[in-house]
Amino acid sequence: MKIFRGSIIVTIIALAIAYFYAGLNGLFITGILAVLEVSLSMDNAIVNARILEKMNHFWRGIFLTVGILVAVVGMRLIFPLLIVGISARINPIEALQLALAKGDPSQAGTYGYILHHSHPQIAAFGGMFLLMLSLEFFFDERAHSWLKIPEKLLKWIGYFPSANVIISIVALMIAAQGAHNPSAAIFAGILGILSFLLVNGLGHVMSQHQPGAGTGEAVLATGKAALSLFLYLEVIDASFSFDGVIGAFAITNDPIIILLGLGVIGAMFVRSLTLYLVAKGTLNELVYLEHGAHWAIMALAVFILVSIHVEIGEAVTGLTGAVLIGLSFLSSVLYNRKH
């Protein structure tokens, strides 16, 4: 309760704001968005926890303060406004006015329509980053294997130089075929790949200069190493947000309700869940849980890329992730009983 107390308080305040802003309907939709965000973000919390446990208490605090501002204000408010502004060639203030106009999202020129029209580029960027993230995990040496055959196959493929980049570029070329603007989707996807390589490479360089690196000594990251991990964490968190932000417009086109439901409540609970996993050492106790999360991330990346052509509901992506994580949890419990 100590870890989740802040999230509960923020939830009460956010629901109260939603009620005074849009009445019972606004309160109801905010609650739906919050439940969806929390229930579908378990894989995000697991990946975040593995990175966060490498940071000291100061940087964990930065994750809960600066990080939450980036997640709430940056990804759930400013990011959609920028996408709409760039697509419609209007400034952010005009984009905000367009958003608050609450026009029919299916009509050309409305906020929801413009944002939905930009979905292929957003999906290409986020899908590539998440695909690179999941492949990187399975290409590395692991003490345990959960799904033996596919994980051993991926590990074998990972021995080939630049296999991660090659597979991702091929997937991007296939996904971009037939898109409304293939060149824009490919460009966005290349940016996603470059973002992963840059942030991941920066993390490796910084970690080599961390005290205790290469000695087997468990040392929490500080300074530049912690900063690189924090940047890596924020980019990962942002990539998980893309489909949720776009998908929210299927429920409501009100940016304030989306901000309250997905951002304020959802992001706070995901961060509390991340801290809980770190505090309890859950990932070390449940040996297959991280594997399940990365299989869920790979599935999410595939669904995001497929959504460039076919609309896929959040229920499909969420249930797939939940099943994979649930099975990995069950497998971990059985493994612990056996050993």
**DSSP string of 178-243?**
T-SSHHHHHHHHHHHHHHHHHHHHHHHHHHHTSTTTTTT----B-HHHHHHHHHHHHHHHHHHHHH
Average pLDDT over residues 185-211: 75
Residue 261 to residue 263: CA distance in whole angstroms: 6
30 has a pLDDT exceeding 80: yes
CB 297 within 8 A of CB 47: yes
104 has a pLDDT exceeding 70: no
Average pLDDT over residues 317-335: 85
CB 252 within 8 A of CB 60: no
Residue 304 to residue 217: CA distance in whole angstroms: 39
**pLDDT (0 to 100) of residue 45:** 82
Q: SS3 of 280, please?
A: helix
Average pLDDT over residues 181-195: 87
Mean pLDDT: which of 57-71, 171-185, 242-256, 314-328 is highest? 171-185
Per-residue pLDDT tens for 274-320? Answer: 888 888 777 788 888 889 888 988 888 888 888 888 877 666 777 78
Within a 10 A sphere around the Cβ of 156, how many other Cβ atoms? Answer: 11
215 has a pLDDT exceeding 50: no
Amino acid in position 228: S
**Domain coordinates in residue numbering, the chain:** 5-338
Residue 242 Cα distances to 6, 101, 137, 289, 305, angstroms: 25, 23, 21, 24, 12
213 has a pLDDT exceeding 60: no
Residue 131 to residue 301: CA distance in whole angstroms: 5
